[in-house]
Amino acid sequence: MGYGDFDAVSLLIEGDVDVRVEAGLRACVLVCDDVGYAFFTPPMLVETQDDQHVGPNALAMHPAQVQAVLDAIFPPTPPVGQPPAPQVGKEQLTSSQMQQVKESLDANPPQKFDLARKVNVFNAFIEFVELRLTGLHIARHTVQLPRDLVLALSDDATAKRLLTTFKLVSDESKVAKEAVEVDQRVRTLRERYIRSLGDGLGSVILRSKRQEFAAEVKSIRGAIEKFQAKVLERLDKELSDSRKKLVEGLLPAAKKSIPPALQAQVSGRPTVEVLRRYLDDELTRVFPEARALIGEMKLEWVPKGVTYETLSNPEFQERVRAAFPYENWDKPFREFEAVPADGRTSSLFD
């Protein structure tokens, strides 16, 4: 709800301040020496707190009221042998309570209040996510062989086994293997954090794991950038080697069946060197540049919020429970009522 900030409590503890617990208390009192004020902190989920909404929000207390508050929190020294019995803040804040609150906030982080005021009064434990890796599957890139060359090979028994497309990079090349390593990191990330709900419902992650997930995505993106920076020259060589190997592979069949387009450009039968140059020129025309292949490399992460209607759907809740069987929850969100900022008293769900 935004009544306070956990980091503020941590600062008090680090400053050796005596912090006590009073469950459900919303009233605030500040006492300095003999002067006291009573005020009320508005919940940030409901009210905007900025310079445009500044106004009186405190009442000065009479000296007797100040003393009464001090006596309630710090009672006078009791008789010997009896511990003080404060009326407010009976329990001292323990380290285990601090840890419990921290774990609760980590598991279900509060949303940004300025956005939550406008959108909802519920806090989802999950969110939809799309993770897409493109451009890293270098070994899958193929090139369409020129039709003239395919026709020239049609009578060759061995050539008939060739496809009309050719893989640009060998699976065994160093470039392809490094690309596979990055791809495997993405696969591991997806398997570890993302759960598919099936039947077109999409994939989700725990909001409590979003920060870890984002850090992994950032790390992989860095690896992709490094891969792009060093792969250009090596990939260019891979493409050149592939083209040369393909030329030599096509040459025997081209000798037997001269491509018609070449035969129309020469007098007599072309020499082996002319055939080799022709094949290389034709393949160079259809082979892409290395820069064009690596320019597509990127890892896209698109997080999406979940609507209240979706979270409330019993079938959706069942899918989420099945996707996260080790989470101890009845439904994948926490809801609460809040008065909208315009003063209306009805809930957004009325």
Q: Is the pLDDT of residue 110 over 70?
A: no
Residue 13 phi, psi (nearest 5): -60, -45
80 or 332, greater pLDDT: 332
SS3 category, 60:
strand
Per the DSSP assignment, residues forming a β-bridge with 320 are none
211 or 80, greater pLDDT: 211
Q: Which residue, among 210, 191, 212, 205, has the nearest Cα to 324 in the 3D structure?
A: 205
| Each residue's pLDDT tens digit, 181-195 | 888 999 999 999 999
Starting from the edge strand earliest in sequence, which strands make up the sheet with 35-40, in order?
27-32, 35-40, 58-60
332 or 10, greater pLDDT: 10
| Each residue's pLDDT tens digit, 260-275 | 788 888 888 888 899 8
159 CB contacts (<8 Å, ≥6 apart)? 153, 250, 253
Q: Is the pLDDT of residue 7 over 70?
A: yes
List the chain domain ranges. Answer: 6-107, 128-301
Q: Is the pLDDT of residue 236 over 80?
A: no
Q: Which residue, among 208, 214, 223, 226, has the nearest Cα to 189 in the 3D structure?
A: 214
- Give how far Cα 337 sits from Cα of 25, 66, 120, 283, 350, Å: 18, 34, 10, 68, 10
Residue 235 phi, psi (nearest 5): -70, -35
- The structure's pTM equals 0.52
Most confident of 5-19, 42-56, 135-149, 254-268: 5-19
Q: State whether the Cα torsion 95-100-103-109 is positive or negative.
A: negative
pLDDT of res. 146: 73
Residue 349 confidence class, pLDDT cut points 50, 70, 90: very low
pLDDT of res. 116: 52
Q: Is the pLDDT of residue 62 over 90?
A: yes
163 or 272, greater pLDDT: 272
SS3 category, 52:
helix
| Each residue's pLDDT tens digit, 119-139 | 445 678 889 999 998 877 665
Q: Is the pLDDT of residue 148 over 70?
A: no
Q: Which residue, among 238, 228, 223, has the nearest Cα to 184 in the 3D structure?
A: 223
- Tokens linked to 320: 């989420």
Most confident of 34-43, 227-236, 238-247, 289-298: 34-43
